[in-house]
A and B are shown apart, each in its own frame.
Chain A
């Protein structure tokens, strides 16, 4: 119970507090806006002035807790140089701002500071003033005056010259374009002073020429020369100028790059320099203003005297003069660089790129896959040739005994004949007729042995299919002979059945012999468990009803299970413990390449019969069959 009461009280207290709070907000009058007057000694719309005004407003609005109200005025002293206008302007300001309770004045001065010094007197006597003075006049020391503070910004002559020589180390001549006003002269004086410390570079001061002549002369300056634009408020003829206008006219037509020292002068074709950043200058002024508005007496704020510049260049001008951006200081500001597509459409580009990348990867993957499968095909083809060869060689291994027999037969005959001849020669009257017969036989047996070796090397050679007209009977006989000794060793009876006459076949002798041998050896392998006296292989050569030639090899072995029957012609399928599973696969390939067929059927008395067919040879069949193996 107690807990609930305490809770209710707390809620009540909170509600009352909240009500009071909201009432306090609504009843509190709006904070009084700070009134800041900005006065420009020249027209307000000069680029530098606009930049400074922007900087001030931006910074003050950002930093101020309350509202700030800005007023702006400009004396336009260049175009209205008569001192009477100064007085009029002063009176005007006095009358105009009498009721405005100004909090602060910021004066932007690019000419005689003293002139501007008189202006604030038009207002209330203790109005804090912040000066932003941009020129190289030697101002009187303002240390005693506590009614103002400010920034005295000098042009960065040293920095700009350094900027020039960094960017164009080949520069041998600097043509300085300047004016004749006190401010102009002051700046030129600084440039002269600086130039004295520079060896190996000629400085030329074009101050005694009317501007049009300067423009003209600038069009034919030789390489190795640069133009440095000082300030020109008036030329030798007394004509008033804005340095901005001169930059605008001079730079586009000059034959050499035009360097400047104010950021506001960049954009019309000038190259750049270690320039005054007017926006930054405005921001710095605003910081001083902020301190003043927050109550710090301006007399307590130290006057800042600075001559630092910001390396800044026009990207288009760099391109025009073919100058390397890499030679500029790393922190240089590059203006007018076209925004890249990247900057404008970053997300879009990323999406598209990602899409393209994915697509490319897919395409590459597919291409790789295709290439791989093509390579794999080639590889399979190569392996098949290799395997056919290996299979032949291994068949040769099986046939080693047969070949030994085949060779020993004629070699043995040669030996015996020679021995006999030797004995005949020992007699007093050798039987020359017999010896001649012996020699003839020796020659015959030598040829026979040679033929065996030829046959063997043909079998061993890796080769493609070469079709020819061939007698299947002869081929079967040869093959059966080859297999005979092996069959004898295994106790297998090898029977060859064939008709007396048979049309010629079209095929590759070696490959077909290999197929037949393979079938015979398979048959023998299948009969390992068959009782010795029942081991029989019948090779039957004949013709089919539809005119094809046919060879059958029957064994009395274990037979083929229905499961195996479907796979026997597949590579690597084997039922033999040490089988490679290639024999029938290769046989199948070879027979197919001949345009024939191969199959297996059960043998009525047990075992299996392998049968293959081959086309008959016809006269039009000459040349090679498609390559297999």
Chain B
């Protein structure tokens, strides 16, 4: 395959208690163009996690102290849930299943072919970037929704459900004109042009889920 680095704005964080292995992985990833940072334990890495981090984590599954799965769980609770690729000296199915359920990007043998590792890192990088962007958009959307008043949110809920203005006015026992005013305010505050866009946005932001 081609070795041309699919470089994005991200770093590979290698977490392994075996310095020799960490070094070799970082050499390979460095050689194909990724910035790499090495951490000797899960705790060390977690203590250094900051929201600005972009990229993915390559972690040893078996480590003294906090192991890979624990690292994954802890990382998932932070504001920067980077994708995790697990490396293991030996694969066993129950562990890999748990790892994948926990959202692991991949689960690789330490001696897996280079292409598998690089492919996994590339995918993780993409996913990480997507998730980061989605997280940012979501955050931005949520901040827009936060500008809406209580009454405007009530009206929005009905709109998203496809109700007509008249029905909304009857249900909320308010004036039809007032409904129209609320709708104008909503589209202005949320910067949307159509009801369809509004519905999509509300859904994306996780609003009004049953």
Contacts and interface: CB of A to CB of B under 8 A. Distances in A.
A and B: interacting chains: yes
Interface of A: 401, 404-417, 419-420, 423-424, 426, 434, 438, 441, 444-445, 448, 484-485, 488-489, 494
A485 B24 contact: no
B89 A404 contact: yes
A408 B61 CA distance: 13
Interface stretch (B26-34, B45-53, B130-138, B149-157): B26-34
Closest 8 CB pairs of A and B: A405-B89, A412-B110, A416-B24, A408-B89, A420-B27, A404-B90, A423-B31, A413-B24
B62 A406 contact: no
Contacts of A434: 27
Nearest to B98: A491
B64 A416 contact: no
A483 to B, nearest CB: 11
Given A409-B110, A423-B32, A445 B62 contact: no
A489 B92 contact: yes
Interface in B61-102: 61-62, 64, 67, 87-90, 92, 94-95
B25 interface: yes
B20 interface: yes
B86 to A, nearest CB: 12
Contacts of B28: 416-417, 419-420, 423
Given A413-B25, A489-B92, 5 more contacts: A405-B90, A415-B114, A441-B23, A484-B62, A485-B62
B110 A489 contact: no
A505 B3 CA distance: 54
Contact of A411 (B25, B61, B111): B111
Contacts of B32: 423
Contacts of B208: none
B110 to A, nearest CB: 3
B27 A485 contact: no
Contacts of A407: 89
Report the interface size class on chain B.
20 to 34
Q: Dominant SS at the A interface?
A: helix
B31 A424 contact: yes
A414 B114 CA distance: 12
A405 B61 CA distance: 10
B27 A438 contact: yes
B25 A416 contact: yes
B24 A417 contact: yes
A395 B170 CA distance: 77
A484 B90 contact: no
A11 to B, nearest CB: 113
A441 to B, nearest CB: 6
A488 B90 CA distance: 12
A420 B21 contact: no
B3 A423 contact: yes
Contact of B87 (A412, A414, A438, A488): A412
B109 interface: yes
B24 A441 contact: yes
30 contacts: A404-B89, A405-B90, A408-B88, A408-B89, A408-B90, A408-B110, A408-B111, A410-B20, A410-B21, A411-B110, A412-B24, A412-B109, A412-B111, A413-B21, A415-B114, A419-B31, A420-B27, A420-B28, A423-B28, A424-B31, A426-B3, A441-B20, A445-B20, A445-B24, A448-B20, A484-B64, A485-B62, A488-B95, A489-B95, A494-B64
A494 B111 CA distance: 26
A235 B67 CA distance: 133
